Every structure is written in C-alpha cells, then in structure tokens.
Amino acid sequence: MEYIRAFLVGGVICAVVQIFMDKTKWMPGRIMVGLVVLGTVLGAVGLYPPFLEWAGAGAGVPLLGFGNTLWKGAREAVDTDGFLGIFTGGLAAAAAGICGALVFGYLASLVFKPKMKE
C-alpha cells in the first residue's frame, strides 16, 4: 500500500504542476522555484514532515521535498554553527542530490544530442 500511496501522491503533485504550467503564463523555471519555496515554507511551519511520513517517496522526491531538505539542513546548521549555518546548511544537506543531478545530467548530455528549443 505504501508504494501505491507514494505513486498517487507523486502523480497528483506532478499533475497539479502540469495543469499550472498549462493554464498560466509562468515559465517552468519559476514554477520549479515556487515548488522549492513551497516545500521550504511547509517545512518551516511544520506541515511537511507529517505529510512526508504519510506519503513517503511520493512527497520526498519532487521539488517540494528538495525545499524541505534545504530547510532542515539550514535549521540544523543554524543550531550548531549559528548565523553562518543559514548559508551552509541547506547545501550540505542537499549535496548528494545536487551532485547526482549534475553527474547524471552530464552523462545524459553525452549519450543524447541536446538541442535548444526553437
């Protein structure tokens, strides 16, 4: 049942974002930044952790989960390092995901022939 719930939650998040992309004039980059910010805000007010526990990977993998990871890292770093943790904590917490995205994006660009959209 966990897998079905994760699949449905992730699918609903993606479907809502796709509808938002189709019905507004916002560029995809702005929508993605909005998702990261929304995940950060939901984590800051304490709503995202219970949702993540219930939805599993369906809520942890999309950009909402990335924003929550940035928030958790920054919060923990501020507790240990003080003010400087605001700048270092989020990146330290999300370093593996960022590195993976860069490496696999580069490998995909070697396999396929990327082109600019016309």
How many residues would you count in the chain?
A: 118
Contact indicator for 69, 59 with CB cutoff of 8 Å: no
Token duo for residue 17: 């974002």
Residue 30 half-sphere exposure toward CB, CA atoms < 13 A: 6
Contact indicator for 8, 58 with CB cutoff of 8 Å: yes
According to the model, what pLDDT value does residue 29 have? 87
Predicted structure pTM score: 0.75
Over residues 28-63, the pLDDT tens digits come to 889 999 999 999 999 999 999 899 899 888 888 788
